[in-house]
Chain A
């Protein structure tokens, strides 16, 4: 079935309701499965339990064992079998229960999911969505709070996206499932319970676009996933200091929306990127480098990265010292010379 045929046939506009991000993701998978019989869902605990974060709640009951199933507990197996299913015309949506548990699937993702289309000169596209709940701030024990995005964004062939709010969660997941390219769909765990009033089905910006969430004139603050909320709080706090911050939600990490972000940086002349992942070799390094290469003469100051420290993700009682906060971001911005 081509993507054009998967429009909202079974999804008339519903009355607005208050939805968490987890519920919006659930609705997106459900609506996609109603619209397109080739969409199948499997992974660890996604069946009767509805997933450890309840993102797949009720789908097993509605669609049955043939389309929603618990797999054996093996991530390479989940992604590897999804590849075979996609080769046979299905659109698998699979879950890696937690960020750090996606690593056993690394080879299948990097060597096959990312490369199959290129290897076969376009003859075997792999329309697979790999959902990865990621990042911290949930008091998780070790291996439950990693920000693994840079592993995926460094891999040509993958599309890597991360929503920051329920509306995008719904719209971006629908777009990801419709895409003929494989998508690493990174869900910020700390935002699963954030709420918004939504009339589904909602369509936000295209999957590959960044958006300006809050306009400003002095600084472009770039964030994605879990740190978008932090960036918005920073902008709000900065008002009292007389600083006008423009907040960009990247949404898509790969591809990177040079156009939207570049335009903002050329306007403000200053930029900083915020992420939870460690700084060295992190995603922010790429953002700072390409923005500098393309906009050097518009910049009044070096691009800053406000990120997690270059250490493994800490235990629950220590994570507050690790995560970027508005105070830490504003302190970083104050290190610039403001003439």
Chain B
């Protein structure tokens, strides 16, 4: 059964209007759209704006580096900045973030250095930042698996009576996975201090949401698990921040989990190896470009007199600095040691791995000897 194959991006029209605080035109939304949530203070909005601008500059830069063939892959979050930045801005220092491969700008916003974010995308190692320092789990590739890890960590924190909350980011496609169901259910049954933020960017690679599910919204599913669910305009950072922050507060004070769906759009391709013209129309992409989360907030802040040209210039300069740092880190040669392949598999050393390590070491020595001879011959 297919609800709206011709124009998948309009599937959301079957759903009620999402909760929003600032509308497409950058005006304060009507009272009946706010769901009882108040607009965050203007200083908070200005900070969210700054973080979104910087994050987008990073995302655009990394996509460019990928097109130049300097990264193995990069899943872009262009257009999804409101969801990503609102989620991270809602975290307290002791909280944990469980991101996916698409959430690199969330890592950036929580303070991970570009070179550490890109370690995995350059192919240096499968993952490359300090998890404990940043309280961010490795970016998960298998869909929805990290949601269960978030529930487990949140439950452990609850058992230890810590006030730590776990927040996990998921995509719309991931909600079809069994692990998403199990995570929602475990969280609700255990009343785990966890917040699920589903970025509904409307496509799982090429498959539109109406081929993933037959219900109105992902947020509706929360009812079935016995937890609060919110359907939010995912391009309205003010609404996302208000709703996610409230959910974090509720989790921290023993109120259990929340499922939040941010309705947004993936402007870029799934990754650099994807061709989105095969499954969606340019007109749809243009429509969503016109709902850009950054432009919307910018209009609002300018109208409020909170964003002057001077401040805007400072933010853009900071974004350019970050882009430069990002480009420069690509020229640094990462230290790659083939023998490290054997270092981290087990904490208890294994004889069989020691043998294989010695085998590779001998092979490398042989290569070194061979290339030394070749060098000598070329000198002669």
Chain A residues engaging chain B, CB cutoff 8 angstroms: 40, 66-67, 71-72, 74, 76-77, 79-90, 92, 104, 107-108, 111-112, 115-125, 156-157, 159, 179-181, 208, 255-256, 258-259
B145 engages A111 (CB within 8 Å): yes
Smallest beta-carbon distance A224→chain B, Å? 17
Bound CA–CA A185/B126 (angstroms): 28
Enumerate chain A residues within 8 angstroms of B147, measured Cβ to Cβ: 80
Bound CA–CA A200/B13 (angstroms): 67
Enumerate chain B residues within 8 angstroms of A181, measured Cβ to Cβ: 346-348
Bound CA–CA A84/B149 (angstroms): 4
A89 engages B347 (CB within 8 Å): no
The answer, yes or no, to whether B365 is at the interface (CB within 8 Å) is no
Cβ < 8 Å to A, chain B residues 183-203? 183, 185-186, 189
Q: List 9 A-B contacts (CB under 8 A).
A: A71-B186, A76-B148, A77-B183, A84-B155, A88-B153, A88-B164, A112-B142, A118-B126, A256-B352
Bound CA–CA A74/B185 (angstroms): 10
Bound CA–CA A124/B126 (angstroms): 13
Given A117-B347, A121-B125, 15 extra CB contacts under 8 A: A71-B186, A76-B178, A76-B182, A80-B145, A80-B179, A81-B155, A84-B151, A86-B152, A87-B137, A88-B153, A89-B156, A108-B179, A118-B345, A119-B127, A179-B347
- The residue on A at minimum CB distance from B345 is A118
Enumerate chain B residues within 8 angstroms of A71, measured Cβ to Cβ: 186
- The residue on A at minimum CB distance from B185 is A72
Cβ < 8 Å to A, chain B residues 131-150? 131-132, 137-138, 142, 145, 147-150
Smallest beta-carbon distance B359→chain A, Å? 13
The answer, yes or no, to whether B240 is at the interface (CB within 8 Å) is no
The answer, yes or no, to whether B157 is at the interface (CB within 8 Å) is yes
Bound CA–CA A67/B189 (angstroms): 16
Enumerate chain A residues within 8 angstroms of B178, measured Cβ to Cβ: 76, 104
The answer, yes or no, to whether B380 is at the interface (CB within 8 Å) is no
A121 engages B343 (CB within 8 Å): yes
Question: Contact residue range for chain B?
Answer: 35 or more
- The residue on A at minimum CB distance from B192 is A81
Bound CA–CA A85/B185 (angstroms): 17
Enumerate chain A residues within 8 angstroms of B160, measured Cβ to Cβ: 88-89
Smallest beta-carbon distance B234→chain A, Å? 25
Contacts A84-B150, A124-B131, A181-B346; A90 near B156 (Cβ below 8 A):
yes
Contacts A85-B153, A258-B351, A258-B352; A159 near B346 (Cβ below 8 A):
yes
B346 engages A88 (CB within 8 Å): no
B148 engages A83 (CB within 8 Å): yes
B350 engages A255 (CB within 8 Å): yes
Mark contacts of B148-171 with chain A using CB atoms, 8 A cut-off: 1 yes-contact digit, 0 otherwise.
111111111101100010100000
Bound CA–CA A83/B166 (angstroms): 14
The answer, yes or no, to whether B278 is at the interface (CB within 8 Å) is no
Enumerate chain A residues within 8 angstroms of B131, measured Cβ to Cβ: 120, 123-124
Pick the 7 closest A-B CB pairs, nearest first.
Answer: A84-B152, A80-B148, A81-B152, A77-B182, A84-B153, A88-B156, A84-B149
The answer, yes or no, to whether B328 is at the interface (CB within 8 Å) is no
- The residue on B at minimum CB distance from A88 is B156
A77 engages B185 (CB within 8 Å): yes
Bound CA–CA A214/B178 (angstroms): 48
Smallest beta-carbon distance A261→chain B, Å? 12
A85 engages B186 (CB within 8 Å): no
Smallest beta-carbon distance A110→chain B, Å? 10
The answer, yes or no, to whether B47 is at the interface (CB within 8 Å) is no
Enumerate chain B residues within 8 angstroms of A156, measured Cβ to Cβ: 345
A72 engages B348 (CB within 8 Å): no
